[in-house]
Amino acid sequence: MRRQQLLIIFITVFHVAFVTALTATELNNRTPRPQNRAVDADGKPLPIPTQFKAALEYQSSEAVTPVITSGSSQKSRQAASQSTPAIADDASCRWLHKRMTNLKNRLQSSSHIDGYLQAELSQYQQQWSCLKCANGGPSSADLSRCRL
């Protein structure tokens, strides 16, 4: 019995010493980390520069461009605002406008689903007029009454 205990102790000590020696070069979560330095994947120290040097050199004077204003830009803005229909400031109206624009564009390119697209467009146009999207926008009663 005493001999078995000694053998178990010997095997345990030998195992711990041998396994620890083999895994000492292995990095894992229990490997002690060196203090005040960075290491790579192999545990070798990384060189840390002593002086700071920027990776990107930027001067704001390079990005400054002069702004040129002329009367023609104001005219083009006025023309664009006249060609764009007035849309009420409502999420439903904005969505309807975008969807109807998309449907009109798809209808211009002829396809086999034109009948379905036209039916959807006419329903959205009815909803557009019911919600008063071209005027002041829908009231809360309009929102509940005009849904498809």
Q: Is residue 61 part of a domain?
A: no
Q: First-to-last CA distance in the chain? A: 90
Answer yes or no: is pLDDT of 25 > 90: no
pLDDT in tens, 51-84: 877 777 766 665 555 656 665 555 555 555 555 5
Q: Is residue 100 part of a domain?
A: yes
Cα dist from 28 to 5, 7, 23, 86, 146, whole Å: 33, 31, 9, 66, 65
Q: Is residue 131 part of a domain?
A: yes
Q: Which amino acid is it at 21?
A: A
**How many separate domains does the chain show?**
1
DSSP class of 88: -
pLDDT in tens, 92-115: 899 999 999 999 999 988 788 889
Q: Is residue 43 part of a domain?
A: no
Answer yes or no: is pLDDT of 143 > 60: yes
CA nearest to 103, candidates 115, 85, 121, 86: 121
Q: Is residue 64 part of a domain?
A: no
Domain coverage including residue 140: 86-145
Query: Rounded to two decimals, what is the model's pTM?
Result: 0.44
Q: Is residue 1 part of a domain?
A: no
Is 139 in contact with 118 (CB distance < 8 Å)?
no
Per-residue pLDDT, 112: 87
pLDDT, greater one: 67 or 37: 37
For residue 46, name the pLDDT band (cuts at 50, 70, 90).
confident
Q: Is residue 109 part of a domain?
A: yes
Sequence-separated (6 or more) residues with CB below 8 Å from residue 106: 117
Beta bridge partners of 39: 45
CA nearest to 92, candidates 51, 47, 65, 130: 130
Q: Which is it for the CA torsion 90, 95, 100, 101, positive or negative? A: positive
